[in-house]
Chains A and B, each alone.
Chain A
Amino acid sequence: MPDTLSASLLDLIRRTSSDLPADIRRALQSGREKEARGSRALLALDTIDCNIGTAEAESAPICQDTGMIKFYVHHPVGYDTLRFEESARAAVAEGTAIGYLRQNSVDSLTGKNTGNNLGPGTPLFHFQAWRRPDVDVRLMLKGGGCENVGAQYSLPMEFPELGKKAGRDAEGVKLAVLHAIWKAQGKGCAPGYIGVCVGGDRASGLEVAKEQLLRVVGDTNPDPALAALEDECARIANGLGIGPMGFGGDTTVLAVKIAARNRLPASFFVSVSYACWAHRRRGVVLDPATDAITGWLYETPDEAAPDAGH
C-alpha cells in the first residue's frame, strides 16, 4: 500500500466492516432492554450483541456480506477526485485480500467473481464539492439481504392487504413506509434502519433514501412535519410484533429517517431503503494536503452527520 490516502481508506474500510457505530449499538441495546427474558427476540439480540463485540475485538467483518461498497465524499473545490478513486480502489482490493471485505463483485450475467471487489460499478462513489478546506469521507457497506427488501412506490396506490389507498399526502407516505416494513418482515435482518425519500424522480429518490442512512439515530429532522412522520412510522412499526429476524418481538426498526425532494407535479414517489441491524457506516475527516486522518465520525451516539441529505 504505497500512498497515505490508500492507507487512510484501508483503515476506514477495516473499522466500517468490523466496528459498529455508537448510535446503532445504543439503539440495539435499548431493544435488548425492552424484549422479554427467554424470548426468541432477546436470543437474537443477545447473539447480535455478542457478535458486535467479537467483530470489534478481532477486526473481523460484523457480517460476511460486506455489502455494496459506497464512498460519500465531500471535498474542497479543485480536489482531485480521480486520484481519490484510484487510491480507494487500491484500498478496496487490499481490504479484500486481508479479509475485511468478502469477494463480493460479480459479473451480472455470468456471475463471475472478480475476486477483489473491483469491477464495473464497484465500488461506488458519490462526490460533492463544498466550501470547506477538509475532506469528509463516509463509507457505507450495505449487504444484499436488506438491499433486496427496499421498495419504491408511485402514489396514489392501492394496498389491497391493508384495505387502504395511499394518496399523495403525508398519510399516503406513512402507508407506503409501513407497507415496506411489513412486507420486509425479518428478511432484511430486522431490526432495520429505514431511509425514506418523498419525491424526486425514481433514481434520485432511491439515492436520497439511501443517503438518509448516513444520519444518526438520535438526530432530529429540521422539518417538523417530517420529524413527526419519522416518529409515527417508527412507533407503529415497533408495534407490529415482527421483531428481530422476524421471530416476533418489539424491536422491528431502530429508526426511520425521511427526507423530501421536490418532484414533478405529475409524479409522487416514496422510496424506501432498508438497512439491516448491522448498519455499517463510518466516516473520517482527511487533511487534503497530507491525506492523513484528522478525525473519525460516528464516534458518539448523538453526533450529527452534516450535509447528509437535509
Chain B
Amino acid sequence: MAQVKLTTPLDEATVRGLTAGDEVLISGTIYTGRDAVHKHLHDGGALPAGVDFSGGIVYHCGPVVVEREPGADGRRRFTVTAAGPTTSIREEPYQAGLIARYGLRGVIGKGGMGLKTLQACREHGAVYLHAIGGAAQVYADCITGVEDVHLEEFGSPEAIWVLRVVDFPAIVTMDAHGGSLHEVVQADSLDRLQAALAGS
C-alpha cells in the first residue's frame, strides 16, 4: 500500500499513476456536491461562476456548517464543524457524465460506485477516493478554510462548498485502469461466505 500526496488541480499522469488500494493525502481546493448538485448539472443546469471542476475533485459530502459574523471586508465567514463523506452510489446515474463534461479527476465519497463511473474513470483518467465514513471531525480538521458557497438554495448540506484542505486522507478504491477494491472484496467475501456455509 503506497502513500501518495496529491495537490489539486490534478493532472492526468498523476491520476493514472494511482492504483486501487493506494493511500492518498489530498491538499488544495475541493468542492462538495451531492444529490441536488449532481441532478442539477445532469439536467443541464449551469456550473456556478467561480467553480472550476477541471482537474478538480468533487467531494460527496453534506457538511455541518456554522456561519460566523462577517469579516471586516463584509465577506461571509463559515466554520465547518463536521464534514465526512456521504454514500456515493446515489450519484451513479450522473457521475460519469460530470467526469466527461468537466474533466473531474477525482471523486471523494464512501461506499464505492458502479460500472458506469469505473468506465468513465478509465476513459477520462479519474479515480474514486474512499474517505473514512463517519470520520466527520478528522475531515473537518483537514479543512483549513471555506472559500465560497454556491447553490445555497438547495439547502446547506446540498450546496457546493468550496473548501481548502490539507492532507485529507483517503484510499483509492477505483483506479483509472479499471481496478476496483470493492469488486475484489465483494468477490472474496462471497467465496468465504460460501465456504462458511458449506457444511450447513
Contact = CB atoms under 8 A, between A and B. Distances in A.
Interface of A: 38-40, 43-44, 47-48, 50-51, 54-55, 58, 60-66, 99, 102-104, 106, 111-113, 115, 143-145, 148, 161-164, 171, 174-175, 178, 182, 185-187, 189, 236, 239-248, 276-278
Interface of B: 1, 21, 23, 35-36, 61-64, 66, 81-84, 86-87, 89, 110-112, 130, 132-138, 140-141, 154-158, 169, 171, 173, 181-182, 184-186, 188-190, 192-194, 196-197, 200
30 contacts: A39-B1, A40-B1, A40-B23, A43-B169, A47-B132, A47-B135, A51-B132, A54-B138, A54-B141, A60-B82, A63-B82, A64-B82, A65-B86, A66-B64, A111-B158, A113-B157, A145-B86, A145-B87, A164-B197, A182-B189, A182-B193, A185-B186, A186-B111, A187-B89, A245-B132, A246-B111, A246-B112, A246-B182, A247-B130, A277-B134
A113 B155 contact: yes
Chain A interface main SS type: loop
A85 to B, nearest CB: 25
A162 B136 contact: no
B133 A236 contact: no
B197 A175 contact: yes
Contact of B83 (A64, A164, A242): A64
Contact of B136 (A61, A113, A240, A247): A61
Contacts, number: 175
Contact of A43 (B66, B141, B171): B171
Given A40-B23, A186-B111, A171 B136 contact: no
Contacts of B186: 185
B128 to A, nearest CB: 13
